[in-house]
Amino acid sequence: MTITVARRQFVAALGGAAAMWPLVARAQQAAMPVIGYMNGGSASLTTSRAPFLQALKESGFVEGQNVKVEYRWADGRYDRLPALAADLVDRKVDVIYASGGAFVTAAAKAATSTVPIVFQGGGVDPIKIGLVASLRRPGGNVTGVMNLGGLALGPKQIEFLRELVPSASSVGLLVNGQQMFVNSISTREAAQGLHWEFHVEYASTEADLETAFANLAQRRIGALVVIGDPFFSNQRARIVALAARYAIPASYYFRETALAACSPPVAA
């Protein structure tokens, strides 16, 4: 299984790999094949849809002409994913494309053991979270592309904060769910290597974000690492505003969040 490729290359591979699935066989028939598109983010914020459709077009599939795409968006709410996945399976899609977080793929896998699932993501180890048996032989009905470079970003963020805030003696980690923390062990080890106190805050709702930052401020956390997550991407303006309100230096996974931090402040 390829580990790191550009998103455009991956989606092109999705179209090319269709020869292995019932998708092509059905395309030769009157019935239009259907791709289930599951994303952990929001339709208004994601940047993956246009490259996805363009790459399918380059592979001979044009939405509305010879392929149908059923879109399902979680809007950063992981509790919605099981129902979204089940709905796609009930609609008998030919293949599910899961993007926008490892939880998306996990929900799709839990919903079906027969519909092919192709995932695209980064920052977590697909073997550790049980998506595939191995990188060489994924097994089952799940395969895809995982950018493992994200696993190395956490320690780099710690190093950056060390330079930015040399007086800090503690660091916070903002994550969405226990599973994301499990896959952030390298970040914790990097902080401990600097003899920094390490504290984790979980947030899955807007109210959780308010509580998390209040807790970080109460603990007098000197710096903060925000893990890459669709919910956090959706809430980037609020996260940046909360970091400013509590004067907590932060390092973000997504470029868009860092850019938001450079924009005029927004009240949290």
More confident residue, 218 or 175: 218
CATH number of this structure's domain 150-261, picked from the four choices 3.40.640.10, 3.40.50.300, 3.40.50.2300, 2.60.40.420: 3.40.50.2300
Q: Which two tokens stand for residue 242?
A: 């909360």
Cα(170)–Cα(158) distance, integer angstroms? 11
Percent of the chain whose predicted confidence (pLDDT) is above 90: 38
Q: Output the pLDDT for position 122.
A: 61
> What is the pTM for the complete model shown?
0.65
Contacts of 71 (CB under 8 A, 6+ apart): 37, 39, 43
Q: Output the pLDDT for position 1.
A: 45
Strand-strand pairing, 223-226 and 170-175: parallel
Confidence of residue 184 (pLDDT cuts 50, 70, 90): low
Q: Average pLDDT of 70-96?
A: 93
CATH architecture of 7-147: 3-Layer(aba) Sandwich (3.40)
The pLDDT of residue 266 is above 60: no
Is residue 37 within 8 A of residue 71, CB to CB? The reply is: yes
CATH 3.40.50.2300 residue spans of the chain: 7-147, 150-261
